[in-house]
Structures are given as structure tokens and as C-alpha cells.
A and B are shown apart, each in its own frame.
Chain A
Amino acid sequence: MKKGLRCEDMGLELPDGRGHERMVLRNVTAVFPPGRIALVAGDTGAGKTSLIHVLACLIRPTQGRVIADDRPVSAWTSPHQDRWRRGVGIAFQHPRLLERLTALENVMLPLVPFGGRPDDLRQRAVESMERLGIAHLRSDTALALSGGEAQRTALARALVASPRFVFADEPTSHQDSDGADLVKKALGACRREHAVVVVTTHDSRLLDSTLPDNRYRLVSGRLEALP
């Protein structure tokens, strides 16, 4: 496979806070093709967030590798990974918005390094916010947003640059049913744009929906494909 994302025999050990290493991911092997949405379910502490972070090259796997469009990105140096991440959109489990910025400015952040006229950047950010039903909050500071609004702002930020790889960690955990529908629509649009989409969740509204093309379950760090 040339395009898409795959992980080969990937493992991750992290300190457990008591001076020992804990195996968070074990021998994870999977293929995430473009234009398809992969849903990774799992209990709390199963390693879903770690999986997202390794796939996005925020942390290095302790074994195996991550290959994006046939390039071993997990083995690259950090500066190269930083540049590769311009094609990546990440929505963290916690929104991680910059508090001193407005919602619109937070959404604009991934666009700034690309350059362009400020009005164009602003317009693209507004469009991304409109897709998630939060355009009316553009002037509010991040601190003024509710949990659900902040989460959708973070997803708008992840999608604003039309990334080739989208990673969303529990994107509906703070959403009501309308909000969850908007999130599903936005992720569905990524599929149409042929992005690789990996979503972790334990929300039944996503698990039971028709959104995912592939389903996985993470159990004790092992990724199992579901029918």
C-alpha cells in the first residue's frame, strides 16, 4: 500500500509513575487507508489516547514503526515529524485551546505557518467553524466556551487545514446529540476528501452509527479488528 497509514508491530512502554515501565500498546499492526474512517473503541486506560499520539508522531513507539504514505514517519527526527504534521489534524481528548485567544484565533492556528492573507485565513477558519455549528462563537475567548463548544472548536481547528491525516480522540465525549451529529458530519466530510481518519471513542453514538468503515477494539494495548 503506497497511500494511507499503517503501523507495523508497534509497541509503546510508558513509565507508570512508580518507577516501572508499563506496556501501553503491544504489537499493534493495522492499516488505515485514505477515504475511510477507522473507529477504535476501548475501555478507559486501554491505550486509545496513546495510540492516537503515536500515530500522530507526538511520541515515539518503543518498538515497531508508523508508516505514512509509505514513509517511516515514526523513525524520523522531530524536526521532520513537525513538518510532516502540517498534513495532520489532531483533536485531543481535552480541547487544549489557548485561553488568551478567541475561538476563531484558536481555529486559525494551524493555518498560520502556511502563510496567506489574514482575511483568507480568517475565512477558512470561519468555514471550518460553520461546519461544526460554532461560527457564532468566533469572537468568544476560549475560556468562555462550554465543554462541548470547546471540543467542537478543537475539532474545527484539527480540520481547518484540510489535513491528509485526521486523528480525533473521543470527539463526542462532551457533546449533546446535536453536537454529536455535527461531529459525525464533519468527520464524514473528511472521508469524502480522502483523508485517513482515525477516531477513538467509547461513545455508543459513534460506535453504533454508520460513520465508521472499520472498527477496532483496543484491549490491554492490543488492537483487534471487529467485524
Chain B
Amino acid sequence: MTAWKSLAAWAMRDQLRRPGALLLTAVALFSLVVVAGVPMLLARAMAATAARVLKAGPDLVVRRVGAAGWMPIPASPAVSAVSGVPGVIRVQARIWGVVRCADRPVTVMGVRADNGRPYSGLFVSPRTGEAVAGSVAAQCASGGTLSLTGAQSLSVRLAATLDVTEDVVAADLVLLHPEDARRLLGLPEGSVSDLALTVFHEGEAQALIPDIIEAFPWPASVTTRQQTVERYTAGFAHRGGFVALMLVPALLALSLLVAGAARPSQKWESEAALLKALGWTTGDIVVVQVAGGGVVALVATGAGALLSCLLVLTPGIHWPAELFFAWPGGTPALYLDASGAVWTLLQVLCFVLIPYTGALLWPVLRTAKTPAGHMAGGDWTL
């Protein structure tokens, strides 16, 4: 067995001689990674998932604005006007709005088979008197019937529910036949809520906005897909900001852990001085420190990272919506995007492991050039 293996084996055996301290350190590091990892992983996964789902949406959304806020858009003239703008290749007039279902708000959308799909996975076309609802919106159904209240009241049969994997944006959605939706929302005949535009090059969407606004005889607000994604992301970041408050005690705990590890006790220095007197080098003591403390830290933080992944990325989880987001009217199951999770976890592990390893090494390196007899507790001459 080479020297470092021998030293590492010694270090691990030495750790097992102090099971209480070992357990305490492991639990502290494990908790730190979970407390720091879950909010970071959740914020990233929510934003990534929303971006993925919204990517299938329109490049631009046009709404009419007036002194009272949003106003209905006369569909035919508006579609004709915007279709003439160079670069716009498809226009979809959409009917949607927020109504109440039992005691909770839901988002109603009128869709037809030839309307395309408002979000990535919604290949549905409800008939008159029928509805297709997201998982949360579906919970307000009574006896298979949704009772909706907007400008008017409407009862429709719940024909199907949407794919739960898109709950992050579609949990509170109710899809209706356009005429049902128009009646429920109180939109005049021939009017729609907004226009969804597809452009030839997504990169040119921003540049087309002045021409699009110019095309209408009324004031219009145009939103790009990028802005929609950013709004979602900012929303998650805002919520994540509250979540990040959890990092404050984590930082405090990390500081205490690091301070405890970095502050060499008289006993530690005395022992290090003795080991040096017995022929151990600074390198040997570093190996023992890193192998002993490092293995514990790696196992504990690895377990913490694994639990963080399970808590956030397990398909169909409910707890983040319940705990952090307080989404109205029930808690959607989340199927979050795992892309980038490894990078986020690496950041969390570095956040914990770098200061901790530094703290383990600091007392050894600080006394590297001190003669054994002059180290605190090692001055045996007097």
C-alpha cells in the first residue's frame, strides 16, 4: 500500500473513532446542500421548463389597449391589417380571459382545430358545451361539469384533461369552443382577445413591432416570445428570492462550520506537532485532513445533492407549488426540466465544499513552516 493510501486509511479509521463529531459534520453538510440546492435547482428547473413549453407559442402577441386597459380586437380587419406586414407569415386570433370556476380563478381559452395549439402539447379541439381543462382547473368540476362565471355564466361538460407534464403553464387552463369562450367572456361578435403572430425569422420579431403597431388604427401592445419567457423567469426568480431567504441560515451554518474547522485548537496543534516529531510531514497531515474530512464531506454533500434532485426533479411533484408558490386553486403536479441541473448542483457543491476544504487545510498550511517544537502545544522545552 502506498504512503497516501496508508495515510488515507488511517484518516478514515480515525474519523470512525469520533462517531459523534463525524455524524454532526455529515448532517450539517448534508443539510446545507439540501437547503441551498433545492431552491437553486427549483428556480432553474421552473424557468427552463417554462421556456421549453412557451417555445412552442407564438413569436409575437398583439393586444389592443385603451384608456380602460385591454380592449377587444375586431378580428377580421385586424387580421387583414397585420397580415400585410412583411415578415408576418401567420396570424391567429385568440379568445381568452380569466373567469371563476367555483371559488378559484381559471384561464379560459377558445380553441378550434384549425387554430393551432396555444402551448406545446395541446392538440385538443373541444366542441360546443365541452371543455378540456388543466389538472388544477379540472378539480373545480362537479359531477363532470364545469360551472364557469365570467361576464356570463356557463356550464360545460369536462370532456378531457390536459397532459399533466405541462402543468407548469397549463394547470389552471380551461379550453372551450371559441363561441362558448366568447359568450363567457362577454366579447362582442367578431371580436377576439389578442392576435398571435408567427414571423418568418424569430430573430426579426423585435424589429417588426413598429410596423405592426403602425398597421392598426388603434393603440396596440406587442409582446415577443422572449419577453413572455422573461416574464415567467422573472416571476420564478421573484418567488425564488423569497425562497433564497432559506439560504441565509444555510450561509450562517456554513460560516460556523468553516470557522469551527479552520480554527485550530490547542489540542489539534499539539497533536500535529507530535506527528511532525514522529516523522510526519505537512503533506502527510494534509492527506489525513483531506481524506478524513474530505470523504465525509463528499459522501454527505453527494447524498444532499441526490436528495435535492429527487425533491425537485421527480416527475409529478406537488410540494414546491404547495410550499413556495401558493398557486391559487390547488397545486399542479410539476414535471420539471432537468437540463442544466448538473451545473446547478456543481455550483451548490462548490459553494459548500470549497470553503469547507479550505477550512480543513488552513490550520495545516498555516503551520507548515513552523518547527514542531514551536507550534502551540508543541513547545515542550519550557
Interface residues of A (CB under 8 A from B): 14-15, 17, 24, 49-50, 53, 56-60, 77-79, 81-83, 85-88, 90, 92, 94, 96, 98, 100-101, 109-110, 112-118, 121, 157, 161
Q: Which residues of B contact A77 (CB under 8 A)?
A: 369
A53 engages B380 (CB within 8 Å) = yes
Residue of chain A at shortest CB distance from B6: A115
- Is B278 located at the chain interface by the 8 A CB criterion? yes
Q: Which residues of A contact B277 (CB under 8 A)?
A: 56, 58, 85, 90, 92
B375 CB to closest chain A CB, in angstroms? 10
- Is B281 located at the chain interface by the 8 A CB criterion? yes
B274 touches which of A24, A59, A98 (Cβ 8 Å): A98
A8 CB to closest chain B CB, in angstroms? 19
Q: Which residues of B contact A100 (CB under 8 A)?
A: 17-18
Q: Which residues of A contact B372 (CB under 8 A)?
A: 58, 78, 82
B1 engages A24 (CB within 8 Å) = no
B5 touches which of A86, A110, A115, A161 (Cβ 8 Å): A115
Contact with A along B342-382 (1 / 0, CB 8 A): 00000000000000000000000000111111100011111
B282 CB to closest chain A CB, in angstroms? 6
B279 engages A14 (CB within 8 Å) = no
Task: Tell me the residues in window 1-22 of chain B with beta carbons closer than 8 Å to chain A beta carbons.
Answer: 1-7, 9-10, 17-18
- Is B230 located at the chain interface by the 8 A CB criterion? no
Q: Which residues of A contact B280 (CB under 8 A)?
A: 82, 109, 112-113
A–B pairs, 7, beta carbons within 8 Å: A15-B382, A53-B380, A78-B371, A113-B280, A115-B2, A116-B6, A157-B278
A60 to B5, CA, bound (A): 32
Q: Which residues of A contact B374 (CB under 8 A)?
A: 59
B274 engages A113 (CB within 8 Å) = no
Residue of chain B at shortest CB distance from A169: B380
- Is B179 located at the chain interface by the 8 A CB criterion? no
A59 engages B279 (CB within 8 Å) = no
B117 CB to closest chain A CB, in angstroms? 66
A81 to B373, CA, bound (A): 12
Residue of chain B at shortest CB distance from A157: B278
- Is B276 located at the chain interface by the 8 A CB criterion? yes
Residue of chain B at shortest CB distance from A167: B277
A98 engages B279 (CB within 8 Å) = no
B371 engages A81 (CB within 8 Å) = yes
A113 touches which of B3, B9, B373 (Cβ 8 Å): B3
Number of B residues near A (Cβ < 8 Å) is: 34
Nearest 6 A-B pairs (CB), nearest first?
A: A58-B373, A115-B3, A59-B373, A86-B279, A115-B6, A82-B281
B271 CB to closest chain A CB, in angstroms? 7
Q: Which residues of A contact B281 (CB under 8 A)?
A: 79, 82-83, 113
B371 engages A59 (CB within 8 Å) = yes
A57 to B372, CA, bound (A): 8
B381 engages A78 (CB within 8 Å) = no
Q: Which residues of A contact B382 (CB under 8 A)?
A: 14-15, 17
B138 CB to closest chain A CB, in angstroms? 63
A79 engages B369 (CB within 8 Å) = yes
- Is B275 located at the chain interface by the 8 A CB criterion? yes
- Is B284 located at the chain interface by the 8 A CB criterion? yes
A89 to B5, CA, bound (A): 23
Known: A58-B277, A90-B278, A113-B7. 10 other contacts (CB 8 A): A15-B382, A57-B371, A85-B276, A85-B279, A98-B271, A112-B10, A113-B6, A115-B1, A116-B1, A118-B9
Q: Which residues of B contact A101 (CB under 8 A)?
A: 17
A161 touches which of B1, B279, B381 (Cβ 8 Å): B279
With A57-B371, A90-B278, A112-B10 known to touch, is A49 a contact of B2 (CB < 8 Å)?
Answer: no
A96 to B271, CA, bound (A): 9
B368 engages A78 (CB within 8 Å) = yes
B2 engages A53 (CB within 8 Å) = no
A68 to B306, CA, bound (A): 55
B278 engages A53 (CB within 8 Å) = no
